[in-house]
Amino acid sequence: MKELIAGLNEDLSWEFNAVISYRLFASMCSWPYRQELRQFFEAEISDELGHAMYLADKIVALGGTPITGPAPVEITTDNRRMLELALKSERDTVRRYKERSQLADALGEVALKVRLEDMIVDETHHAEEIDRILTNWKS
């Protein structure tokens, strides 16, 4: 169980990172795509915050203490780089959640496994959206 709690805390730190990154990216993005990127990043924040809330509650329910800070946040003023950072983060999160889902399953934490699979769907959708934007990006 300690390994699961430690992993969930790592996941929580990355969800905090996503909330902060997306908020800053929404504020710092620039023309010519400012309006579209701002709306995109702002729309992602609520999903990431919801994931963070769930993870914090689950960590406590499992007997752990939630981490209080984000994974390191990289700041950029380059729109394309913002999207590249977001895409990497989403893909890394999917990988971590798959690992956590397998561990939860092995420990008999069925509800956690199912919730993590739902979160994998959310994060995969985010990654696909970002990938589409980058695929059609005009330099």
pLDDT digits (tens, 9 = 90+) for 40-50: 999 999 999 99
According to DSSP, residue 72 is labeled P
CA nearest to 116, candidates 92, 90, 98, 91: 98
* pLDDT computed for residue 32 by the predictor: 86
- In this structure, which amino acid lies at residue 94? V
Please say if the pLDDT value at position 114 is more than 70: yes
Residue 139's pLDDT band (cuts 50, 70, 90): low
Task: Classify domain 2-135 at the CATH class level.
Answer: mainly alpha
How far apart (Å, rounded) are the C-alpha atoms in residues 97 and 31?
34
Residue 4, token pair as written in the block: 């699961």
Rounded alpha-carbon distances, angstroms, from residue 65 to 24, 55, 59: 27, 11, 6
How far apart (Å, rounded) are the C-alpha atoms in residues 56 and 66?
5
Please say if the pLDDT value at position 138 is more than 90: no
Please say if the pLDDT value at position 137 is more than 90: no
Residue 136's pLDDT band (cuts 50, 70, 90): confident
**Residue 139: exposure state from Cβ atoms within 10 A (0-12, 13-18, ≥19):** exposed
